[in-house]
């Protein structure tokens, strides 16, 4: 993974990208979270930072975790576990000719998100 400055991306950009990947209209996500559409818009544009409760509700609605969103935004540096299984799984994903390039990228991104979220969770439990 390339070196990056932390934080590199606004949390709102990550939330917007995840919402778009989930094909959720902004209004539908706002309703699911229990916030107004304008408030969600402000979060996505980086004008407002969500509270922990709102971020947890957003993450749950997007089928992810707040930790994964923070990690993707660069607020938490992911652990660099060089496990052989991780490398071989990513290699298998890259070599899967039955998938389109976009599907391989998406699958690898989901896998890395899970690995990063688990690393954050382990660090929080150890702290």
Q: What pLDDT is attached to residue 21? A: 87
- Distances, alpha carbon 62 to alpha carbons 26, 54, 66, 80, 115, in Å: 12, 12, 10, 25, 17
Which residue is associated with the tokens 């990063």?
Answer: 116
Q: Which residues in the chain come in under a pLDDT of 50?
A: 1-8
- Distances, alpha carbon 5 to alpha carbons 14, 30, 66, 106, 108, in Å: 16, 30, 20, 23, 22
Q: What pLDDT is attached to residue 5? A: 40
Q: What pLDDT is attached to residue 97? A: 87
Checking 74-77 for CB contacts under 8 A at 24+ apart, the result is 74/4, 74/5, 74/6, 74/7, 74/8, 74/9, 75/6, 75/7, 75/11, 76/120, 76/123, 77/6
Q: What residues have CB less than 8 Å from 3, skipping those under 6 apart? A: none
Global pTM reads 0.57
């Amino acid at each position: 993974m390339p070196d990056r400055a932390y934080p590199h991306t606004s949390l709102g950009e990550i939330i917007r990208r995840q919402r778009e990947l989930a094909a959720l209209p902004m209004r539908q996500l706002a309703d699911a979270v229990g916030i107004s559409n304008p408030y969600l818009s402000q979060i996505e544009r980086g004008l407002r930072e969500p509270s922990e409760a709102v971020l947890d509700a957003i993450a749950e609605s997007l089928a992810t975790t707040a930790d994964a969103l923070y990690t993707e935004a660069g607020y938490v540096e992911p652990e660099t576990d060089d496990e052989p299984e991780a490398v071989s799984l990513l290699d298998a994903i890259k070599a899967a000719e039955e998938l389109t390039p976009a599907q391989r990228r998406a699958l690898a991104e989901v896998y890395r998100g899970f690995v990063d979220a688990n690393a954050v969770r382990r660090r929080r439990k150890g702290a």
